[in-house]
Structure 1
Amino acid sequence: MVDRNDQTDVSEATKAQEALLHDVDPSLTDANDVAKALNVDPATGLSSDEAKRRLEKFGPNELASAPPVPKWKKFLAQFEDPLVYLLLAATVISTIAWFVERMNAAPGSEGGEPLPFDSIVIVLILIVNAVLGYIQEARAEQAVAALAQMTAPQTSVLRDGQVARVNTSEVVPGDIVVLGEGDTVSADGRLLTAASLRIAEASLTGESVPVGKKPETLESAKALGDRANMVFNGTSVTQGIGRAVVTGIGMNTQVGKITDLLSQTEDEATPLQKELAHVSKILGIAVCIIAALVIVALFITEGFTGIEDVIDSLLLAVSLAVAAVPEGLAAIMTVVLALGVQRMAKHHAIVKKLSSVETLGSASVI
């Protein structure tokens, strides 16, 4: 994948690819003219030196991806949860209450606990929760990266007059790709030859059956699914053979344009995250109400004769409020989701985010 920090370079490479064809629609242009515009001989393909030069100019045949997130940010992301915020607030309040109690202790008395044990316990629970989540997600990412390296896709291209297998990321504009049954199309291209060629384009157009392809030039502009003389990145050959000259790679493909649109959307909270946010909101309101009711009840029943009575009432109200916060809920949720991830792994399914386990369980239609 291409880092989105290099998005400017990606845009320049895309413009350079478009300039090769001088804004000509390949589907409305004769295949030989398209090859001529791309400065390639359909009979011999590009030379190895020319392919290397174009790779340096246009960049790898990869889709842009989000920049890698630093490890410390991934760890801090484990604390981005409404329930965790509530627990942190309880920790701060509990610490303040302990400090006030120590400050107002009578001379010679013990003055309560020597350390704010409640706060320490909550912080330890949150740290353990974050470590569990981080380790589980890090393992999943490492597994996905290892699989990606093991299954690096390759493409058959015509180079120096010979058919060769190269990494898909090294395909460049002007390459002659050789298509056969079972192949995945590695880039957008204009068909040069085709024999009983049928390609499944469901991932791109939604067409439920494979589409027949032929190299004849179209008489007028057609919708994407009706461009019978074009092949598109990410689709797969189900029947026949053919050859096509590459007209676009990476982000300058139809699937690249879809990727660009998807990158502009915002991630929604999962059903579990929404439910936890709702529960946290209710708990926060309930805690505030409990604290207020305790102070009012103490004032009505006993009254306040001095500042010490007010402080004692506040400490009691805060203690009850903190006790109402479920300190172990966050850790329990993480452990349960981690167990779900491990069970999925036994069935050869890798889940990168813990919350995705519950989301997958909520799916009704695939």
Structure 2
Amino acid sequence: MYRLESTLVVTFEHLTERRPQVSPEELLAGFRPSERFGEVSFETYRPDPQQPSQSAAVEALKKFAASMGQSPQGSGGFFSKLFGGGSKNPAAAQGVYLDGGFGVGKTHLLASLWHAADGPKAFGTFVEYTNLVGAMGFRNTVDALSKYKLVCIDEFELDDPGDTVLMSRLMRELSDAGVRLVATSNTLPGALGEGRFAAQDFKREIQVLADQFDVLRVDGEDYRHRGLEKAPNPVVPGTEEATVEEKFPANSRIAVDNFANVVEHLSQVHPSRYRQLVADLDGICWKNVEPITRQDIALRFVVLADRLYDRDLPIVSSGVPFDQVFTEEMMAGGYQKKYFRAVSRLTALAREAATGERA
């Protein structure tokens, strides 16, 4: 395990031995942009000159951020919007929906808004907010988030009707409390234009809240390219630790586990704690990756994949490649957007471990 150039060693740990206990305050403190978007700004966003809607979205969101210290023009809260209509000026809107295809920089723009706006404020994915409600309870979540000026919801999803109704209710109560809301959509890689989660879908699902949201289009091509790239070949079984020692710097902390044990362990840890489950690690090593056949386990694994991607943790693995970790039925079913996203992110992290290039 020792390297010739250093007396420092790679430290191996086990995810299956981690059982994080997280207070409500710690959960709420985690609602901020991940490390990937920890220092982005409107200035670091690079609008495509061929897509004027991108520059227009930047300017509109700058105005929205500047208006955070003001009461929305013409708005007395939810019920006044219901009966009086709302302004079409995003700076005066109670909420904004960023409508665009996969890979046009909506999360970058949302994180830039969060950084630019006055707090207190929260930033999380749709799934993180539903998990927060599961961990804290609906009323406690409303009470906590009602104290915020801004709530950003990334990757709004429609594939679970119960969660969609829950989030619509949460957003309505936050809006009643004067909280400004901004959301982006979750879209399927390769589905730009065709079958895209678009503004009309979003507005239909949030029902009477729809009039409070101004839509900002963010047109453009997917900078990450469409579809899923082929996952890199897994390492030879029995060489996992040696590969980690070769690929990772000395003094790295790597969680090495049998894959089946990891997915079983996820059922014992609430998804709201997955961020803490992978805290302080530098990488992941999974032995004998195999297809997941149960939907409940697969959906938990998707949340873990998101948290690994947020932390930018490279993955060394043996077994099947990550483009085979979900069954064909899952990849074609109602939760396909989640599974496509997970495969794309896991593949990027596996490629980062293999090449050393950031995902």
Q: Does the pair score TM above 0.5?
A: no
TM-score tier, shorter chain, comes to under 0.3
Report the TM-score, using the length of structure 2 for normalisation.
Answer: 0.23
Give the structure with the higher percent helix.
Answer: 1
Larger Rg: 1
Report the TM-score, using the length of structure 1 for normalisation.
Answer: 0.23
